[in-house]
């Protein structure tokens, strides 16, 4: 917990103990917080938004999120519009307005812990899926809602003789030809979101992947990723077949 007012910090400690929580440590400044992490990381941090004479708790929460991925619940009696506006930017897991009851504190912490554990499970599943895709003997590619490349697996990189950072973030239209109809589903740079009826997705198609001086004919099976609530296109997952026997060609070769 980070709270620079001793009386308030003591009151919150008593509330936490009544609720059955173990207190990892109490700090009166964000600068002292990381010293509490020497032995182990806490499950959650209660952070006062405004710490006297320091950067705000919001700034500290952003830093903690980047370094340690620890969920933060803000506590504050402030109502300033600027502070409230900035709270979502630091991706907090909850907010409790002072003064609060034990019940309100319990609810905020329970929801935050549930959310943090759910996100951890999702990240673990994503890692497992990525590891599976990396070892598959066919190409896989993930595009965002504009048709820009978010992920390509190892099979594609080896076939093209390149690295992921050379493709990631690039417009897939630069590399995939003979696919004009497919790319019509993606929104343009300044257009709003694209809505597609559930179950609607472009048909598989033949195309040519061109990179440097390599041209690879292939067969692409698209699977659109659509938000179930809004029907808005989130992206598209591509299975790219017919890459076998092409791996190991140098970028100076032409494959036809």
Non-local (6+) Cβ contacts of 113 within 8 A are 43, 44, 71
Please name the residue ranges forming H helices in 169-216: 180-183
Asked if residue 55 lies in contact with residue 10, where contact means CB atoms within 8 angstroms, the answer is no
pLDDT tens-digit map of 187-239 = 776 667 777 766 667 889 999 998 888 888 999 999 988 887 788 888 899 99
pLDDT tens-digit map of 110-127 = 999 998 888 888 888 878
**pTM for the full predicted model:** 0.57
Q: Strands 233-241 and 139-144, how do they pair?
A: antiparallel
- Tell me the C-alpha distance between 92 and 58, whole Å: 9
Terminal-residue alpha carbon distance, the chain: 63
For residue 2, pLDDT beyond 90: no
Least confident of 35-44, 53-62, 138-147, 247-256: 247-256
- Tell me the C-alpha distance between 224 and 196, whole Å: 9
Across the chain, mean pLDDT equals 81
Q: Which domains does the chain have, with CATH numbers?
A: 6-130 (3.40.50.2300), 136-241 (3.30.450.20)
- Tell me the C-alpha distance between 68 and 133, whole Å: 27
Question: What is the average pLDDT across 30-37?
Answer: 72
Largest CA distance in the chain: 75
Least confident of 77-81, 121-125, 174-178: 77-81
Non-local (6+) Cβ contacts of 31 within 8 A are 54
- The residue among 251 and 167 whose pLDDT is bigger is 167
């Amino acid at each position: 917990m980070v709270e620079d007012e001793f009386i308030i910090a003591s009151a919150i400690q008593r509330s936490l103990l009544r609720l059955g929580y173990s207190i990892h440590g109490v700090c009166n400044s964000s600068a002292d917080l990381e010293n509490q992490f020497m032995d182990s990381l806490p499950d959650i941090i209660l952070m006062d938004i405004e710490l006297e004479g320091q950067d705000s708790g919001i700034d500290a929460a952003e830093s903690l999120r980047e370094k340690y991925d620890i969920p933060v619940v803000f506590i504050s009696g402030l109502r300033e519009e600027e502070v409230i506006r900035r709270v979502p930017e630091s991706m907090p897991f909850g907010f409790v307005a002072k003064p609060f009851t034990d019940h309100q504190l319990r609810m905020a912490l329970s929801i935050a812990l549930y959310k943090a554990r759910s996100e951890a499970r999702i990240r673990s599943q994503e890692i497992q899926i990525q590891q599976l895709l990396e070892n598959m003997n066919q190409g896989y590619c993930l595009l965002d809602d504009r048709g820009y490349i978010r992920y390509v697996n190892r099979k594609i990189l080896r076939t093209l003789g390149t690295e992921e950072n050379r493709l990631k973030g690039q417009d897939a239209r630069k590399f995939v030809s003979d696919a004009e109809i497919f790319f019509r589903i993606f929104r343009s740079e300044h257009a709003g979101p694209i809505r597609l009826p559930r179950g609607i997705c472009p048909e598989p198609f033949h195309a040519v992947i061109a990179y440097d001086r390599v041209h690879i004919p292939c067969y692409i099976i698209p699977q659109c990723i659509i938000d179930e609530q809004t029907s808005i296109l989130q992206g598209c997952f591509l299975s790219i077949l017919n890459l076998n026997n092409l791996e190991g060609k140098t970028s100076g070769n032409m494959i036809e």
